[in-house]
Amino acid sequence: MIALSLAEIAAVVGGQTHDIPDPSAQVTGPVVRDSREVEPGSLFVAFVGEHVDGHDYAAAVVEAGAAAVLASRPVGVPAIVVDDVQAALGALARHVVHKLGTTLVALTGSAGKTSTKDLIAQVLRRKAPTVFTPGSLNNEIGLPLTALSATEETKFLVLEMGARGIGHIRYLADLTPPKVGLVLNVGTAHIGEFGGREQIAQAKGELVESLPPASEGGTAILNADDPLVRAMASRTQAKVVLFGESGEADVRAENVRLTDSGQPVFSLRTPSGCSDVTMRLYGEHHVSNALAAAAVAHELGMSVEEIATALSEAGSLSRWRMEVTERPDGVTIVNDAYNANPESMRAALRALAAMGRGRRTWAVLGKMAELGDEALAEHDAVGRLAVRLNVGKLVAVGGREASWLQLGAYNEGSWGEESVHVSDAQAAVDLLRSELRPGDVVLVKASRSVGLESVAQALLATGAEGEVAAR
């Protein structure tokens, strides 16, 4: 964070200083909420959680070098005390972003946010210093913490914005007002909370409504291939730039194909020219993500050649998102277990099918959460798709929702041993350990709450130990 005195921070957040001998002392380190991340000069933000109260760590963090604690009550060490710690954190982020004048890029969507954010960051940082959301810390706490990590050298600030309801993105955009706003898609993630895709579109579109007009440099980047996203053009006064495979898109992909290993190759066409891209990421769904990143970068002044090179060299920066690892015995593990919704599940299955050409494929799948009344139909549809894509074997892991995955596969025509329902992750590991053979490709994917990354980790550990013999 930029250096600010404790007195200045107190004024910005409307707080009272307690036990601070020198209000002119400065916060020169990062703003953190985890006591393990404290560095000399940090500001520690004390949240009260369900199981942990950050105030209990106040003395320890100051001893470790924190300049002060942002707290909701006096804690016996230097502290700025406020009524609402979350609101104060947001106010501080708003102040710092305004003071820096950094070009802020915000993005949202039902699927692909984190992968696209990582691509945007990898492209833009070739042009200038860039700070971006780590992982998927895209809520009312993670977003301001990311914004506060920007410094005077930061040229671009790339922020992922998530939403669990109407008004959430409006709130985040008010904290950190974007100049460029990107909407990827409107799908069915969290549809149980929103109530329908139209409500999801209403929430996601709050981002483009927050943008400044075109005369002030505001730019809305919209997916030309998603009708609900494209319709958001009427909700903004910003300049509208379309990306996609549609011929009407300003930034589009042509001649799309996949390599034998499932990596996308395409020609990137922009208003300033065309250049070829060969991605390191896996799955055709990354073409749309790459186009979104390219549209952002092009609007911020990068040439098509620079963008294509950056996209061709970009990798995955976030854990458990299409992490592809080949074991010494030739088994390939695709760990995509960070999260799942119907759109990302379909994309991952198609990527598996492409990667598995001439090889035996396994889809180890679990529950997709927060689908409400659509849960049965969506799980059934994913099971059916696995059969249509000729996935070698579906292993559905867990309770009721997993049984719906397996039932969909069965009803689509998987009547033999091509699909199986197992009770938990350990049962899936036991099954795979006994049946995998060299050359197999295994996809592991479910909602975060299921914890299926343990399956991928166990299988990788098995390969490292050399326990699987060729069969």
Q: Is 112 annotated as a binding residue?
A: yes
β-bridge pairing 43-45 and 68-71: parallel
Cβ distance 406 to 395 under 8 Å?
A: no
The secondary element (H helix, E strand) that includes residue 404 is helix 400-412
Cβ distance 143 to 117 under 8 Å?
A: no
Q: Is 297 annotated as a binding residue?
A: no
Q: Is 272 annotated as a binding residue?
A: no
Of 391, 330, 404, whose CA–CA distance to 361 is shortest? 391
Specify which residues 242 forms β-bridges with: 222
d(CA 371, CA 336): 19
Q: CA of 457: how far to CAs of 130, 192, 329, 466, in Å? A: 32, 30, 16, 14
Q: CA of 89: how far to CAs of 51, 72, 84, 127, in Å? A: 21, 12, 9, 30
Find all residues with CB under 8 Å of 349, minimum gap 6, and list them.
363, 382, 385, 386, 389, 391, 443
Read off the amino acid at residue 77.
V
Q: Is 15 annotated as a binding residue?
A: no
Radius of gyration of the chain (CA): 24
Read off the amino acid at residue 267.
S
Q: Is 416 annotated as a binding residue?
A: no
d(CA 136, CA 321): 11
Cβ distance 68 to 27 under 8 Å?
A: yes
**Helix (H, G, I), strand (E, B), or coil: what is residue 323?**
strand
Cβ distance 119 to 321 under 8 Å?
A: no
d(CA 457, CA 471): 22
Q: Is 301 annotated as a binding residue?
A: no
**Helix (H, G, I), strand (E, B), or coil: what is residue 451?**
coil
Numbers of helices and strands, H then E, in the chain: 17, 22
d(CA 368, CA 386): 15
- The runs of H, that is alpha helices, within 225-319 are 227-230, 285-299, 304-313
DSSP assignment string, 290-306: HHHHHHHHHHTT--HHH
Q: Is 5 annotated as a binding residue?
A: no
Q: Binding site for ATP: what residues are annotated?
A: 109-115
Q: Binding site: what residues are annotated?
A: 109-115
